[in-house]
């Protein structure tokens, strides 16, 4: 339907972002909408060959409660459980969260920590699926590498391996219904006093949810000392590109990313 | 735009009663409840999922009815504030809100009560923190939160919060 409509039909999942945009006239209402929740392949969480598969239409309330996700990637369950409020979490889907491509998308940062792969499906003549690493999926605010007529089918990742300390947090100006002013996620492994694995990601501080390659480089191969943490913090503040908007200033976001990252690494060091 | 689209048949259950009506494809569940079914207990607050005044249960889950296209409710079960009391008697959650003075202007109350209902179904004895999290999507502009939280906690302490 999406392929045949040549752009007149819009894919639709939970509608928690699209419905207000359409009703308030922020975005033009499409001629028709295609409810992806009717497609079985886009539902459910499963585990096979050491890989977790999450359908694009899995609701945030399911992400938060699913036993497979809670055990394999508690950091993702935590983020899913802190999206907006119960009413929204019962409707909003993880696929919608990613495809809207908000720099503040709560589940994007944990999925970057998990090095997720996204399966994009299209059905011009027959169904074809291509894999895109999550790092290549976001192009800018509201923009993704989805081609016209293509949809996000599922998200795949491997469980966090033994000994990895992974955490995610967002900071907002209030506790309820907060859209992150800044969010940070960290996954590190320390062996014999040295960091052997590090993944860092940020939300709301760049045009896209951003992987922190610079911060990671300061961690790997070094002890999780105060000196390393200070260097990592500086690298993070260097590589992010925050802006000033209604929720916070650029300088405040930069400061908060440093604070959150430092506290997470200090917790990792004690863990 | 609404009048150029043909109405579509919709069949679902509202407060236990099967309902069949013809609706605009652009209508939200909230539009249908208030305008077609005249169940005006469910309120239109912000229309964008921020305030929770339009909260109802859709197949047992609390949702913002302003964000749900009506046609998505085909075959579903919807419960509104009008569906809670039995035989003209208020529901225990409604009584607790009255007893605790948890109602000032009353506009947020139906949504607060539906969110409370969903909470207590899932977790009959919530802590204060759990109550706050369950109601985080419901705004009260009279700022009566303290009394609302007390009302919900009084049900938790009772052991069998609602029947």
| Sequential pLDDT tens for chain B (163 residues) | 444 678 999 999 999 999 999 999 999 999 999 999 999 999 999 999 999 999 999 999 999 999 999 999 999 999 999 999 988 899 999 999 999 999 999 999 999 999 999 999 999 999 999 999 999 999 999 989 999 999 999 999 655 444 4
Both B101 and B79 in one domain: the answer is no
**Which residues are CB-neighbours of A196 under 8 A, at least 6 positions away?**
A189, A190, A220
Question: Which residue range is the domain that position B41 belongs to?
Answer: 2-83
Chain A interface test: which of B48, B49, B71, B117 (most A C-beta within 10 Å): B49
Please, what's the b/e burial string for B107-137 (b: 16 or more CB within 10 A of its CB; e: otherwise)? bbbbbbbbbbbbbbeeeeebeeebbbbbbbb
Question: Which residue range is the domain that position A50 belongs to?
Answer: 9-18+41-157
**A134 located within any domain:** yes
Sign of the dihedral defined by the CA atoms of residues A249, A255, A258, A264, in that order: negative
* ipTM rounded to 2 decimals: 0.93
> Which one of A157, A190, A220 terminates a domain?
A157
| Count of pairs with CB atoms under 8 A, one residue in A, one in B | 68
A267 has a chain B CB within 8 A of its CB: no
Are B137 and A87 within 8 A, CB to CB? yes
pLDDT digits (tens, 9 = 90+) for A6-39: 678 899 999 999 999 998 889 998 988 999 999 9
Dist. CA A83–CA A65, nearest whole Å? 13
Both A173 and A122 in one domain: the answer is no
Least Cα separation, residue B59 to chain A (angstroms): 11
Are B67 and A19 within 8 A, CB to CB? yes
Both A132 and A194 in one domain: the answer is no
Least Cα separation, residue A15 to chain B (angstroms): 7
Question: What pLDDT shows up at residue A261?
Answer: 98
- Give the N- to C-terminal CA distance of chain B in Å, as an integer: 44
Q: How many domains does chain B have?
A: 2
A26 has a chain B CB within 8 A of its CB: no
Question: What pLDDT shows up at residue B158?
Answer: 55
Both A146 and A168 in one domain: the answer is no
Backbone angles phi, psi at A144, to 5 degrees: -130, 175
**Mean pLDDT, range A219-242, rounded to an integer:** 98
Both A240 and A177 in one domain: the answer is yes
Both A116 and A13 in one domain: the answer is yes
**B162 located within any domain:** no
Are B69 and A84 within 8 A, CB to CB? no
Query: Chain B contacts of A88, Cβ < 8 Å?
Result: 49, 64, 67, 137
pLDDT digits (tens, 9 = 90+) for A162-206: 999 999 999 988 878 888 999 999 999 999 999 999 999 999 999
Query: Chain A contacts of B67, Cβ < 8 Å?
Result: 15-16, 19-20, 88, 91
Q: Coil, strand or helix: which one is A55?
A: strand
> Which one of A105, A126, A157 terminates a domain?
A157
Contact between residue B138 and residue B51 where contact means Cβ atoms under 8 Å apart: yes
> Which one of A112, A140, A157 terminates a domain?
A157
Give the angle A257-A259-A263 at the CA atoms, nearest 5°: 115
Both B125 and B104 in one domain: the answer is yes
**CB hemisphere CA count around A143 (13 angstroms):** 5
**B163 located within any domain:** no
Q: How many domains does chain A have?
A: 2
For residue B136, the chain A residue with the least C-alpha distance is A176
Q: Enter the pTM of the model.
A: 0.94
Chain B interface test: which of A87, A175, A178 (most B C-beta within 10 Å): A87
Both B109 and B132 in one domain: the answer is yes
**A32 located within any domain:** no
Nearest residue to A107 (alpha-carbon basis) of A149, A61, A163: A61
Dist. CA A94–CA A108, nearest whole Å? 9
Dist. CA B67–CA B47, nearest whole Å? 7
> Which one of B52, B83, B114 terminates a domain?
B83
Least Cα separation, residue B158 to chain A (angstroms): 24
**A34 located within any domain:** no
For residue B25, the chain A residue with the least C-alpha distance is A32
pLDDT digits (tens, 9 = 90+) for A32-74: 899 999 999 999 999 999 999 999 999 999 999 999 999 999 9
**A24 located within any domain:** no
């Amino acid at each position: 339907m999406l392929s045949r409509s040549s752009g007149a039909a819009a894919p639709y999942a939970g509608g928690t972002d699209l419905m207000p945009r359409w009703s308030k006239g922020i975005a033009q209402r499409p001629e028709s909408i295609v409810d992806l929740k009717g497609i079985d392949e886009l539902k459910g969480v499963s585990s096979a060959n050491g890989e977790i598969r999450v359908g694009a239409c899995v609701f945030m309330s399911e992400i938060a409660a699913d036993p497979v996700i809670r055990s394999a990637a508690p950091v993702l369950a935590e983020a899913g459980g802190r999206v907006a409020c119960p009413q929204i979490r019962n409707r909003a889907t993880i696929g919608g969260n990613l495809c809207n491509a908000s720099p503040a998308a709560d589940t994007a940062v944990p999925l970057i920590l998990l090095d997720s792969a996204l399966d994009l499906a299209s059905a011009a003549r027959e169904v074809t699926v291509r894999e895109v690493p999550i790092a290549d999926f976001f192009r800018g605010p509201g923009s993704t590498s989805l081609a016209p007529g293509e949809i996000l089918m599922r998200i795949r990742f491997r469980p966090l391996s033994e000994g990895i300390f992974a955490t995610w947090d967002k900071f907002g100006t209030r506790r309820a219904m907060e859209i992150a002013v800044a969010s940070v996620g960290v996954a590190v492994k320390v062996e014999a006093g040295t960091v052997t694995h590090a993944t860092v990601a940020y939300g709301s501080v760049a045009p896209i949810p951003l992987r922190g390659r610079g911060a990671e480089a300061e961690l790997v191969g070094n002890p999780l000392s105060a000196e390393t943490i200070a260097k990592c913090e500086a690298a993070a503040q260097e590589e992010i590109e925050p802006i000033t908007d209604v929720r916070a200033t650029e300088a405040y976001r930069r400061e908060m990313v440093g604070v959150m990252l430092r506290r997470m690494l200090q917790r990792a060091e004690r863990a | 735009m609404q009048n150029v689209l043909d109405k579509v048949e919709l069949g679902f259950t509202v407060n236990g009663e099967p309902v069949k009506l013809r609706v605009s494809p652009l209508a939200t569940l909230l539009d249908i409840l208030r305008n077609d079914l005249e169940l005006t207990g469910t309120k239109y607050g912000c229309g964008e999922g921020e305030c929770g005044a339009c909260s109802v249960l859709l197949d047992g889950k609390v949702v913002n009815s302003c964000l749900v296209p009506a046609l998505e409710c085909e075959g579903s079960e919807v419960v509104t504030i009008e569906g809670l009391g039995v035989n003209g008697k208020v529901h225990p959650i409604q009584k607790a809100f009255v007893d605790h003075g948890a109602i000032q202007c009353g506009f947020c109350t139906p949504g607060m009560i539906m969110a409370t209902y969903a909470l207590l179904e899932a977790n009959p004895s919530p802590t204060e923190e759990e109550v706050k999290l369950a109601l985080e999507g419901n705004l009260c502009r009279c700022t009566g939160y303290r009394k609302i939280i007390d009302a919900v906690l009084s049900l938790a302490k009772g052991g069998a919060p609602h029947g």
